[in-house]
Chain A
């Protein structure tokens, strides 16, 4: 589904990603963990080119998307992204947040998009908030809406960039539940998170990223029970 080849990314003189190779298969749930500043978010943001790689290749669905001629807007229609800070459109109501992209990109008629949005809102139990504005919702509600907004595009992959890091502890659960449901539905997911419980329960693979490289990759069971990399051992001893 997504293939990353020898990905490098520098911000000025600082080299954040130092050669990452990875392949995400259809239906996999990849969980990326690592200390802050390790490059894990940058890695994720490179996948839909929100960060432009300095060098390396990214293939999505058989197409080379790092090709300068690739239509990146078209590619992003099929890759949902959920942000740490939700980033709901503050000037639009919830329903308009969800229907804006499908209608403006002419993927759906207004009525169809509305119906689709209402169905999605029902799934996360937020239909009664359809005409509210983002500022009227709690953090957990906003993040569920943000997930729904991405789903409205019928993406093939969902990227999550620390989706629960900006939430109050009691709201983390409701967002993780939606993500788990999504995982059970077979969605391909790449999740950067600090939620070790989620990684263990939902992940099909867990990656440890540090110093701009993938230091360890394993199934959740092996990853948490038999970590081999010394830096990962140290990291896990701090967070678990």
Chain B
């Protein structure tokens, strides 16, 4: 038993303490969080705009050009692997850009935007049509009603799936190792190949992801509760 503990302690020492390796994980986590945060913000902005684009209709009920454009964007992004999108961004579209984090933020933001767009669209459609009619009947324009009445209600509707999307996004950033960014996952794998010991670094990284996501979901839950204070259902 003692031997087992000693072994674990040694592996822990090797994976985290020796050569101040814990600092590497911290740095990796920083990269992961930085990419996730900015990509999430970008994704929500793109997603909301694309959702509104896709929902736009002409007077006769026909789809507008920008609606078709929005659909094309969603199809392309959802129809290709995100690793491939990252590689295309890194090696082709932004070739020569030295800032890997920027490339990653753009890639994941654009990627997430397609999924957020569909979530937002569902959230907007779930708001009773009477809300728009009431706003319009008072003389508010379509965009004013959208901004003050529909979107606030839609955002409340979509918080659970948006939270889901953020979690997926955070974990998906683990592929940035493909373009030689040292995020948390890549750091763990680098440490394990340095020390020839895989258990501690990989499990350690997994635990860190788990804790971060647990905190994130708690925050989303709190926000959801705050936004729901208006309904008594």
What are some 12 contacts across the A-B interface (CB < 8 A)?
A: A50-B137, A52-B59, A73-B136, A73-B141, A75-B139, A79-B137, A83-B133, A89-B135, A90-B230, A90-B231, A100-B138, A150-B138
A contact residues around B133 at 8 Å (CB): 50, 83, 87
The smallest C-beta distance from B65 to any residue of chain A, in angstroms, reads 20
Bound Cα distance A72, B150 (Å): 20
B contact residues around A150 at 8 Å (CB): 137-138
Cβ 8 A contact of A100, one of B128, B141, B148, B231: B148
A-contacting residues, B109-142, CB 8 Å: 128, 130-131, 133-141
Closest 10 pairs between A and B when the two form their complex, measured CB to CB: A77-B139, A87-B134, A81-B137, A101-B138, A87-B130, A76-B139, A91-B152, A133-B230, A91-B153, A135-B231
Bound Cα distance A76, B230 (Å): 28
Contact B131 A105 (CB under 8 A): no
B contact residues around A50 at 8 Å (CB): 133, 136-137
The smallest C-beta distance from A25 to any residue of chain B, in angstroms, reads 22
B contact residues around A83 at 8 Å (CB): 130, 133-134, 137
Contact B230 A135 (CB under 8 A): yes
Chain A residue with the shortest CB-CB distance to B227: A91
Contact A85 B137 (CB under 8 A): no
Interface size of A in residues (CB-CB distance below 8 Å): 30
B contact residues around A149 at 8 Å (CB): 138
B-contacting residues, A65-106, CB 8 Å: 73-77, 79-81, 83, 85, 87-92, 100-101, 104-105
Contact A105 B139 (CB under 8 A): yes
B contact residues around A81 at 8 Å (CB): 134, 137
The smallest C-beta distance from A125 to any residue of chain B, in angstroms, reads 22
Q: Which residues of A contact B (CB under 8 A)?
A: 48, 50, 52, 73-77, 79-81, 83, 85, 87-92, 100-101, 104-105, 133, 135-136, 146, 149-150, 153
A contact residues around B130 at 8 Å (CB): 83, 85, 87
Given A73-B139, A89-B134, residue A133 in contact with residue B232 (CB < 8 A): yes
B contact residues around A153 at 8 Å (CB): 138-139
B21 within 8 A of A: no
Interface size of B in residues (CB-CB distance below 8 Å): 23
Contact A104 B148 (CB under 8 A): yes
Bound Cα distance A88, B138 (Å): 12
Contact A89 B232 (CB under 8 A): no
Q: Which residues of B contact A (CB under 8 A)?
A: 59, 128, 130-131, 133-141, 144, 148-149, 152-153, 156, 230-233
A contact residues around B233 at 8 Å (CB): 135
Chain B residue with the shortest CB-CB distance to A76: B139
Question: Which of A75, A77, A100 neighbours the largest number of chain B CB atoms within 10 Å of its CB?
Answer: A100
Chain A residue with the shortest CB-CB distance to B156: A91
Chain B residue with the shortest CB-CB distance to A50: B133
B contact residues around A80 at 8 Å (CB): 137-138
Bound Cα distance A56, B33 (Å): 60
Bound Cα distance A48, B137 (Å): 7
Bound Cα distance A160, B150 (Å): 23
Contact A104 B140 (CB under 8 A): yes
Contact B137 A76 (CB under 8 A): yes
A contact residues around B231 at 8 Å (CB): 90, 133, 135
The smallest C-beta distance from B117 to any residue of chain A, in angstroms, reads 22
Contact B59 A104 (CB under 8 A): no
A contact residues around B141 at 8 Å (CB): 73
Bound Cα distance A52, B136 (Å): 13
Contact A88 B134 (CB under 8 A): yes
Question: Which of B59, B133, B144, B153 neighbours the largest number of chain A CB atoms within 10 Å of its CB?
Answer: B133
Bound Cα distance A91, B152 (Å): 7
Bound Cα distance A118, B189 (Å): 65
The smallest C-beta distance from B61 to any residue of chain A, in angstroms, reads 10
Bound Cα distance A89, B144 (Å): 13
